[in-house]
Chain A
Amino acid sequence: DTEVTQTPKHLVMGMTNKKSLKCEQHMGHRAMYWYKQKAKKPPELMFVYSYEKLSINESVPSRFSPECPNSSLLNLHLHALQPEDSALYLCASSQRLLELNQPQHFGDGTRLSIL
């Protein structure tokens, strides 16, 4: 079992729907991350939060909207997605953003399919 919990595990949505992905960790980590992973490809960084503030946005389209309501929780709000957005979405956390020696701990991911 991972210490980073992501819900839901699977999500199928239409292009006009609004949905949210949720990520939770209780390890006291202050940096949290969203990644997108297409099949047979490495994860690609989308957003980074440090102490609940957005630190990095890797030029992600505005139809993806991240939110960090508190130090344990990270959401990704989805609206008007395209079929090419179908992917595995991984959440991760690490102790601090500025510590290069700290590993990121990943959740099991949400498999998203856009119809």
Chain B
Amino acid sequence: AQKITQTQPGMFVQEKEAVTLDCTYDTSDQSYGLFWYKQPSSGEMIFLIYQGSYDEQNATEGRYSLNFQKARKSANLVISASQLGDSAMYFCAMREWFDITGTASKLTFGTGTRLQVTL
């Protein structure tokens, strides 16, 4: 089974509108971290926002917020007031223990959603 599922290969949004990018995850661990990254066409991976499995409040960072629904195992990214510069690939990722020994952690990425912001 996929650890991280992003069901939207591509999304369009008009400038100044809000957009939600979906992410569901699969884990049996109690402790894990959820991250969103942005990757412009130039290639660099830019960290946007983090949500911990024990965090009760949804994370927010400027125009980015994370809609965390633990029971549904979803961690959707909401971008408010979209800008042309938001056009990029967006990856949801989960950090969890690499194996049962708990001596290392690993970040696993979803397949990504390509967001295009239009005028």
B111 touches A98 (CB 8 A): no
B104 touches A97 (CB 8 A): yes
Task: Select from chain A the residue with minimum beta-carbon distance to B48.
Answer: A103
Say whether A65 faces chain B, with CB atoms less than 8 Å apart.
Answer: no
Contacts of B33 in A (CB 8 A): 100-102
B35 touches A92 (CB 8 A): no
B43 touches A108 (CB 8 A): yes
B112 touches A88 (CB 8 A): no
How many residues on B have C-beta within 8 angstroms of the other chain's C-beta atoms? 30
Contacts of B57 in A (CB 8 A): none
Contacts of A107 in B (CB 8 A): 44
**In the assembly, what is the distance between CA of A55 and CA of B105, in Å?**
10
Say whether A45 faces chain B, with CB atoms less than 8 Å apart.
Answer: yes
B residues 7-24 in Cβ contact with A at 8 Å: none
Closest Cβ of chain B to A47, distance in Å, is 12
* Chain A: number of interface residues, binned into ranges: 20 to 34
Interface residues in chain A, defined as those with a beta carbon under 8 Å from any beta carbon in chain B: 2, 33, 41-43, 45, 48, 50, 55-56, 88, 90, 92, 97-109, 111
Interface residues in chain B, defined as those with a beta carbon under 8 Å from any beta carbon in chain A: 31-33, 35, 37, 42-47, 50, 52-53, 91, 95-98, 102-112
Q: What are 20 of the A-B contact pairs (CB < 8 Å)?
A: A2-B44, A41-B111, A42-B110, A42-B111, A42-B112, A45-B106, A45-B107, A56-B104, A88-B43, A92-B45, A97-B105, A98-B102, A100-B96, A101-B50, A101-B95, A103-B50, A104-B107, A106-B45, A108-B43, A111-B43
Q: Given A45-B106, A108-B43, 6 other A-B contacts at CB below 8 A?
A: A2-B44, A41-B111, A56-B106, A90-B43, A101-B33, A108-B42
